[in-house]
Structure 1
């Protein structure tokens, strides 16, 4: 459970559920959803909690940008995933965002391992890890040496991260005590 106001919890749950659904169906998270949720957080928090609410929303959004924009620049995450995390930051604040970040990392990691094994891509994944590490030590983004490592590439693992982000957010809202 979280101590966010009920209207914020409802908005946050609706946002991530819609994002997960569109990510599964279309492999994208729409801008109207993420930008709308960011704006809603920036408006609703001050309306419900004054300046403290505005600070919670702005700082949460900025922390999301600091964490996820570099991952987007390296093409580890798609733009919709980054904007969704920005919306979560604006709605849940920094503490909520960091919990979602950690839970999502665990859930996405588990899902990736399952997909790698089920799709028979263990050897290719190990090669990709080696390529990625070599690229980073050379100061290059991994996708520059192996296009398969770009989030959105047709040859990538193709996991809709909106789903794991939604599950992590729902755990924040309803599953944690």
Structure 2
């Protein structure tokens, strides 16, 4: 079986686990990003993987530092998850992953705001489900374009 297919399936399953866990427990266990990092060792491209980890995870770390103690907070699990995803995806697919995920999260937040008519800052969404959708989409788009 093609290693890229194995990597994509394992990556998708781990992201689905993170999404389900985050929706239920409102946290992402450290084991899931660690397993995603191990998944990234399949067909490893060291420079692209490390660059993807920094470029994809770095903005989430910065956002978490800037929003620390505020209502719009990003948790440590989200940072680790995105860094691990960047390690698997590389730079450009990692950026696509972030863009897709955040667009979905913002659109969902806006729709919930419209339905509930409550203070926008009181809407708290687990991000891992959006990271799951964005990550799987970015992976397979990049694989189809032979970027991974």
Could you state the TM-score of these two structures normalised by the residue count of structure 2?
0.81
Q: Which residue of 1 aligns with 2:133?
A: 167
Is there any run of 5+ residues in structure 2 with no aligned partner, and where? none
- Which 4+ residue blocks in structure 1 deviate beyond 4 angstroms? 174-177
Structure 1 position 164, deviation (Å):
0.9
Q: Which residue of 2 aligns with 1:133?
A: none
Conserved 8 A contact 2:21-2:28? yes
Q: Which residue of 1 aligns with 2:100?
A: 103
Structure 1 position 120, deviation (Å):
1.5
RMSD: 2.0
Q: Which residue of 2 aligns with 1:81?
A: 78
Structure 1 position 39, deviation (Å):
3.7
Choose which of 60, 64, 67 in structure 2 pairs with 1:72.
Answer: 64
> Number of residue pairs matched?
136
Choose which of 55, 60, 63 in structure 2 pairs with 1:63.
Answer: 55
Change in CA separation of 1:45 and 1:57 when aligned onto 2, cut-off 3 Å: farther
Q: Which residue of 2 aligns with 1:35?
A: 34
Structure 1 position 175, deviation (Å):
6.2
Could you state the TM-score of these two structures normalised by the residue count of structure 1?
0.69
Structure 1 position 174, deviation (Å):
4.3
Choose which of 35, 42, 45 in structure 2 pairs with 1:44.
Answer: 42
1:160 alignment partner, SS class: coil
Is there any run of 5+ residues in structure 1 with no aligned partner, and where? 47-52, 129-155
